[in-house]
Amino acid sequence: MTRLVAGLAGGRTQAVPARGTRPTSERVREALFSRLEHVVGLDGAHVLDLYAGSGALGLEAASRGADRVVLVESDRTAAQVCRRNASSTGLLGRVEVVTDRVERRLGQLDGDAFDLVLLDPPYALSDDELGGVLGEVVRVVRPGGTVVVERSSRSHGPGWPAGLEPDGDRRYGETHVWFARLDGPGDAGAAPSGSART
């Protein structure tokens, strides 16, 4: 079990799949979302959580005010846990759970645009594979939007594709988090013109 840190569902527990996932610790989520609330502004945001696992990152975003959160997880058991967690925390109305491979789902998101994209890929995902996914992520981030990659502190930093500008990184014990922003107009704390945020 783990808990949501803050927001509408702060303190509520979430189930964790029995195997195959490693939910982001509460300490790391607290630090990460403190930064994101300041830099991105989660109120009304549209968030894409790739390799969702238990859904801990995306549900934290929903709890803190994101209007729309899409969780993408290829493992059926983990995706079922995501749905149960969204329901038990009262966040199901803001959250869509998609059982699919990240690469395939990204190819189907034409026309969607997100203020924040979160990636916590399996350790086994190679640098080249991650680079390919980030190349697809560029198409679904709003100008000025933020991309976050979480990996083992022993991993190399992401190879950001053209358009994504590195925006710092943080290390929390065995976890390393990297940030980037999409080139273009827009204030980091506000949605660009044409955004669906209110």
For residue 174, what pLDDT band results from cuts at 50, 70 and 90?
confident
Flag whether 175 is in a domain.
yes
Radius of gyration of the chain (CA): 15
Q: What is the pLDDT of residue 9?
A: 62
Flag whether 41 is in a domain.
yes
| Average pLDDT, integer, range 152-171 | 91
| Average pLDDT, integer, range 29-35 | 89
| Average pLDDT, integer, range 53-77 | 94
Contact (Cβ atoms closer than 8 angstroms) between residue 46 and residue 196: yes
β-strand partners of 68: 46
Average pLDDT of the chain? 85
| Average pLDDT, integer, range 124-153 | 94
Report the 10 Å Cβ neighbour count for 71.
Answer: 30
Flag whether 191 is in a domain.
no
pLDDT at 198 over 60: no
Report the 10 Å Cβ neighbour count for 17.
Answer: 19
Q: What is the pLDDT of residue 105?
A: 95
Q: What is the pLDDT of residue 82?
A: 94
Flag whether 50 is in a domain.
yes
Flag whether 153 is in a domain.
yes
**Considering its fold, how many domains does the chain have in total?**
1
DSSP state of 31: H
Q: What is the pLDDT of residue 192?
A: 36
Place of tokens 């955004």: 195
Q: What is the pLDDT of residue 195?
A: 40
Contact (Cβ atoms closer than 8 angstroms) between residue 139 and residue 113: no
% pLDDT > 70, the chain:
82
Flag whether 85 is in a domain.
yes
Global confidence as pTM: 0.86
Q: What is the pLDDT of residue 92?
A: 86
pLDDT at 21 over 90: no
Flag whether 28 is in a domain.
yes
For residue 135, what pLDDT band results from cuts at 50, 70 and 90?
very high
For residue 112, what pLDDT band results from cuts at 50, 70 and 90?
confident
pLDDT at 125 over 70: yes
Query: 53: domain range?
Result: 2-182
Flag whether 187 is in a domain.
no
* Side-chain half-sphere CA neighbours of 76 within 13 A: 0
Question: What are the φ and ψ backbone dihedral angles of 147, each rounded to 5 degrees?
Answer: -120, 135
Interatomic CA distance for residues 140 and 147, integer angstroms: 10
Please report, for the domain that includes residue 161, its CATH number: 3.40.50.150
Place of tokens 């990460």: 32
DSSP state of 94: G
Residue 120: exposure state from Cβ atoms within 10 A (0-12, 13-18, ≥19) = buried
